[in-house]
Chains A and B, each alone.
Chain A
Amino acid sequence: MNDKNTVKRRDFLRDGLRSLSTLVLGGIVGLAAKKFRSRATVWQIDPDVCTQCERCSTHCVLALSAVKCVHAFDVCGFCKLCGGYHRPNSKIQDTAAEHQLCPTGAIKRTYVENPYYEYTIVEEKCIGCGRCVKGCGSFGNGSLYLQVRHDRCLNCNECAIASVCPSDAFRQVPADQPYLLRGKQRQT
């Protein structure tokens, strides 16, 4: 008889605790519901905060970083002497490798008309170091900037680059507006 009672008490306790746990789980959902954003989020770099420390090229979990340089053609001056393409103090403004700033030669320079040149990023070659971004920012319109490319990004829960970003330029943005683009060409 005593045995039976014990079992009953245990079952009663379990039922009570189970209801309590259900309430707690519901409460967590409710509390978190305030923070709900029904859309998924993705990582992105705020180009205004980025300092081009070059860690994007080395700290991504991918062997070749998901961060690439992006060119806002709307902002570009199409200059012959490009701060993002040429090394500083390079006297000759040609396409020779020794005059290029990009360590992998990922910027393609094409003649448009005198005196304008178009600069295109060859994404397969870009490692996301941001040297060109720095060059364009200090001598240019700032039309080059780093962005997380979402065809490559694995969207880790804790972004390995974000955790070492010295200027805290990484943030999670809604997945339907995944870029913080410059210029008029803002698009999804």
Chain B
Amino acid sequence: MRESLFIKIFLICLTCLFVAGVMSDSFAQDRFPRPEFDSEYQKPHTHAPGPQAKFFEIFDIFLLATLLGLTSYFVLKKRSRRAVFWISIFSLGYFGFYREGCVCAVGSLQNVSAALFLPSYVLPIGVIAFFILPLAFALFFGRTFCASVCPLGCMQDVVMLKPVKVPHWLSEVLGVLPYLYLGFAVLFATTGSAFIICRYDPFVSIFRLSNDFGTILYSAGFVGLSVFVARPYCRFLCPYGVLLGWMSSLSKKHASITPDYCTQCRLCEGSCDFGSIHKPSNGRIPERKAKSVKRLATLFILAPVMIIVSGWAVSNLDVLLSRMHPTVRTAEQVKLEDAGLVNQTTLESRTFRRMGTETSALYSEAQAIQKKFHTGGWFLGGFLGLFFATKLIRLSVLRPRIDYEINQTSCFSCARCFMSCPNEHIRLETLKGASLEPVERVS
């Protein structure tokens, strides 16, 4: 008897709790009751305009592939600079000014690296297509993406009016920057800190015709520079260009200056504003073989040392580099405030305190991020060490060249040098009236 009474009371309590739970759930937000109107009044609907991303996603991929194919065809088969120019004007207009620059292939490398390392990061199909397609094309046809599809490249290409020749040593030194940029961009993307390529994109504020004053000044500076230095961003900063260069250096078919063979007439020597033409090594005095072998052996032994030393060095910058992550910055600020070392609070620290999370949780999160930076620093340093070692080895090896050749790594396949070759004129029969005795092939 007693027992059944207890059970009944228990059941009643349970029902009450359940009802209370349901009630509190449905009225959780309502401090004021929702009105019941006597008049004919109808509540308006919340207007929610949809994004256009869905349609453009597929269309952009299609257009990207088409333009890459067209450029490859016009560069390799038709050898037409004019077609490349008009394609680049179209890309600049569409991908640049109409689609306003996002997402671009250059920035997509951050999304891909973030997706590979951050568990919660999702990758839309459009982004991965923008990352892979230009690289795949470069692997077979050279950097045709740079020639006339990349809006950043096209922007610089069309304003290139009076390019000066950058000395070889200077362009070699500045050529280090893209590798640094690539390394740091991947490090910051994989740690979820920032997308620095997007943040310091020089032309996006021109495409959008809106940004803060500093960014517009920076963009205007880049455009001004592009008038006198041919494609400064592509050559001395673009991190995606590094990947494209690797692919292009292995490319199956690549544009060549001459349509058939080189006569070493030197006419193409000055035709490349980007310094991407290798000169023949005829005149150089070869050094003693023993000497070069010895130097090469030293460099090969030195390479692992360089990798380890630079890996160690960069991994020790973890505390400094991790400040790029907002959570680490907040944690440091909160720590300073708690220690009484600063008087002023920041919006971040105030927000953190308002959210009511434990300080220890924030600290351990920041520490985990710093640890990621430590590991990432080893990889970044190792990559940079490897790069410098490879660079030294390449510089120390003298590769014999007979003809004028394109430097496949840095060539943008812009098709400008073609018309400087007399054999091209013979092919196109533009020299009507002149006696057209083909020049003897040398060697």
Instruction: List B contacts of A116 (CB < 8 A).
Output: 35, 37
Among B41, B50, B107: residue with most chain A CB under 10 A: B50
Interface residue from B54, B135, B326 paired with A25 (Cβ < 8 Å): B135
Interface readout for B346-373 with A: 1 if CB under 8 Å, 0 if not? 0110111011000000000000000000
Cα of A39 to Cα of B125 in the assembled complex, Å:
7
Q: Contacts A35-B121, A73-B44: A158 and B51 contacting too (C-beta < 8 A)? A: no
How many Å from the CB of A97 to the closest CB on chain B?
Answer: 24
Known contacts A42-B53, A157-B198; A172/B250 CB under 8 A: no
Check A42 against B39 for contact (C-beta < 8 Å).
no
Contact indicator B116/A31 (Cβ below 8 Å): yes
Q: 18 interchain pairs (CB within 8 A)? A: A17-B250, A18-B251, A28-B131, A31-B116, A32-B115, A32-B128, A40-B126, A42-B51, A72-B46, A77-B34, A112-B41, A113-B38, A141-B31, A142-B29, A149-B49, A150-B49, A150-B50, A188-B48
Give the distance in Å from the alpha carbon of A120 to the alpha carbon of B47 in the complex.
Answer: 11
Q: Are A185 and B45 in contact (CB under 8 A)?
A: yes
User: In chain B, what residue has the closest Cβ to A78?
Assistant: B35
Residues of B within 8 A of A140 (CB): 31-32
B194 touches A158 (CB 8 A): yes
- 0 or 1 for each of B274-299: is its CB under 8 Å from A? (1 = yes): 00000000000000000000000000
Contact flags A40-84 to B (C-beta < 8 A → 1, else 0): 111000000001010100000111000000111111111100000
Query: Is A14 interfacial (CB-CB < 8 Å)?
Result: yes
B240 CB to nearest A CB, Å: 13
Contact (Cβ within 8 A) A155 B102: yes
Q: Within 8 Å of chain A (Cβ to Cβ): is B103?
A: yes
Question: A21 interface residue, CB < 8 Å from B?
Answer: yes
**Which chain B residues in 108-164 approach chain A with CB under 8 Å?**
108, 110-112, 115-116, 121-126, 128, 131-132, 135-136, 139
Q: B168: CB under 8 A from chain A? A: no
| A163: nearest chain-B partner, CB-CB | B194
B-side contacts of A75, CB under 8 Å: 29-30, 34
Given known pairs A158-B194, A175-B53, the reply for A18 and B252 (CB within 8 Å) is yes
Q: Contacting A157 at CB < 8 Å: which of B32, B38, B107?
A: B107
The answer to whether A41 touches B247 (Cβ under 8 A) is no
Q: Which residue of A lies closest to B121 (CB)?
A: A35
- Chain B residues, Cβ within 8 Å of A37: 122-125
Contact of A62 with B210 at beta-carbon distance under 8 Å, contacts A75-B30, A76-B34, A140-B32 already known: yes
- A41 in contact with B122 given A77-B33, A140-B32 (CB within 8 Å): yes
Q: Is the CB of B116 within 8 A of A158?
A: no
**A116, A175, A187, most chain B CB atoms within 10 A:** A175
Using a CB–CB cutoff of 8 Å, the interface residues on chain A facing chain B are 14, 17-18, 21-22, 25, 28-29, 31-32, 35-42, 51, 53, 55, 61-63, 70-79, 112-113, 116, 118, 120, 139-143, 149-151, 153-158, 163-164, 166-168, 172, 175-176, 178-179, 181-183, 185, 187-188
Closest 3 CB pairs of A and B: A77-B32, A158-B195, A166-B351
Using known A-B contacts A163-B326, A176-B54, determine if residue A32 contacts B37 with beta carbons closer than 8 Å: no
State the Cβ distance, B225 to closest chain A Cβ, in Å.
22
- Chain B 213-255 near chain A by CB (<8 Å), digits 1 or 0: 0000000000000000000000000000000001100111000
Interface residue from A25, A31, A178, A182 paired with B50 (Cβ < 8 Å)? A178
Contact between chains at A175 and B37 (CB < 8 Å): no
Q: Indicate with 1 or 0, residue by residue over B51-79, a CB within 8 angstroms of chain A CB atoms.
A: 11110010000000000000000000000
Q: What CA separation (Å) do A175 and B41 show in the bound complex?
A: 33
Complex: A122 Cα to B1 Cα, angstroms = 67
- Minimal beta-carbon separation of B335 from chain A (angstroms): 17
* Contact, CB under 8 Å: B51 / A157: no
The yes or no answer to B427 lying at the interface (CB within 8 A) is: no
Chain B: minimal CB distance from A147 (Å): 8
Closest B residue, CB atoms, query A143:
B29
B102 touches A157 (CB 8 A): yes
Residues in chain B near residue A150, CB distance under 8 A: 49-52
